[in-house]
Structures are given as C-alpha cells and as structure tokens.
C-alpha cells in the first residue's frame, strides 16, 4: 500500500514539476522540494510500518515456537531451540525468556550450553498429583497390611493356645452315620496302640 502511495507521490511530483517548469519556471524548485519532502515522509512512514510489521512477524514466530516447545517438552524451554525454531537471535530470546520466567514463576535449569527455563505445565501438575495420590494410597495400604499381619499372628497364637488346652492328639469328633445307625469306631493307624474303650470305663 505504501509502495502505491510512493508511486502516486512520485507521479504527482513529476507532473507538478513539468507543469511548474512550463507555467512558472521560478517555482520549479519549490515544487521539487515539496515533492521530495512528500516522498521522504512517505518513505519514512513505509520504513516505520515495515519495522512494525517485522516486529509483529518476529513476535508471532517466537510465540508459535514457544507454544510448540512448551507443549512438546511439558514446559521446559531451551533458548537455543527457541532461537533456531523462531529464527530470532539468541540474545533477544534470552531477554524474552528471563522476563517471562520472572513473570510466570519459571525456574532456570543450568545446562552445558546455558540455561533452560522450566515453566509450570498442566501435565506436570497432573503427574505430580497422581504420584502424590499413589504414594498416599501405598502408605495407607502398607499400614493395613502390617495391621493384618499382626492380627494373623495373634490369631495363630490364640489357636495354638486353644489347641494345647483342648489336648491335641485326641480322637477327632465322629459324625453320625447317614442312615441313623451307630457310628463306627475310628480306624487306628498301625503305629498307635489300639484303644480299648471298655477298659477306660472300669
């Protein structure tokens, strides 16, 4: 757009100069100076607009590269990577990251090739919350397992005491026969001496 304006001003300046040279030759200098001034102002405006446009494009490239690295690396940004991806010199990137880290609570991490900046990222927070919840559940489970083991040991001791009072080694209780007949005497193993129930009654 500025180029069209400059072209138009140049055309008006040339036409004005020719018209002034024909109609009033002594005004040619004034017309040329006015045309040159208008073209200079338009060129300065064009340069300012171009610089603003370059800054906006640079900011857009840095923003896109930063977003890409932020999502890819879960908040960890290396200035070298950002500089290469955005096409902006490293000194500007360092200034940008320092200001952003101070504003967004970023942490500087020393590396061999300089410092990286770690910014808070939702995935890291979710992972930290998951880890904390898992550790809490493990601590609760470990306490319950220990308590369960103690209860099992106590039950084993209680059962052992009960068995020693009841006389372990006595005959097992006999079940009634299914047809209502008298129960059979237990079968003795060959190593044990035979039990004579009649002699014990006398």
Distance CA 91, CA 95 (A): 6
Looking at the structure, give the CATH architecture of the domain made up of residues 73-120.
Orthogonal Bundle (1.10)
Question: Which letter does DSSP use for residue 95 in this model?
Answer: H
Domain regions of the chain by residue span: 1-68, 73-120, 121-163
Distance CA 138, CA 143 (A): 8
* pLDDT over threshold 60, residue 160: yes
Distance CA 10, CA 18 (A): 12
How confident is the model at residue 2, as a pLDDT? 59
How do residues 52-111 score in pLDDT, each as one tens digit?
888 888 888 888 888 888 888 777 788 888 888 888 888 888 888 888 888 877 888 887
How confident is the model at residue 138, as a pLDDT? 80
Distance CA 67, CA 82 (A): 10
> What is the pairing mode between strands 76-77 and 107-111?
unpaired
Angular region, 107: left φ>0, alpha ψ -120 to 50, beta rest: beta
Distance CA 42, CA 163 (A): 109
The predicted model scores a pTM of 0.47
Encoded tokens for 103: 């504003």
How do residues 115-142 score in pLDDT, each as one tens digit?
888 877 666 555 666 777 777 778 778 8
């Amino acid at each position: 757009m500025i180029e069209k304006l400059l072209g138009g001003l140049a055309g008006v300046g040339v036409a004005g100069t020719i018209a002034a040279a024909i109609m009033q030759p002594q005004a040619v200098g004034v017309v040329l100076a006015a045309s040159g001034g208008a073209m200079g102002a338009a060129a300065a405006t064009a340069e300012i607009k171009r610089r603003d446009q370059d800054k906006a494009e640079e900011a857009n490239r840095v923003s896109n590269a930063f977003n890409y690295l932020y999502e890819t690396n879960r908040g960890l940004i290396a200035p070298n990577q950002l500089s290469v991806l955005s096409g902006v010199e490293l000194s500007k990137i360092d200034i940008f990251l320092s200001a952003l880290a101070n504003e967004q609570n970023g942490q500087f991490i020393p590396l061999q090739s300089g410092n990286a900046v770690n910014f808070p990222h939702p995935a890291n927070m979710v992972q930290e919350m998951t880890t904390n919840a898992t550790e809490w559940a493990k601590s609760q489970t470990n306490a319950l397992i220990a308590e369960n083991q103690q209860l099992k040991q106590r039950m084993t001791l209680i059962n052992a005491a009960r068995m020693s009072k009841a006389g372990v080694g006595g005959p097992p209780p006999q079940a009634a026969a299914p047809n209502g007949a008298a129960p059979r005497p237990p079968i003795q193993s060959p190593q044990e001496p035979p039990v004579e129930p009649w002699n014990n009654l006398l």
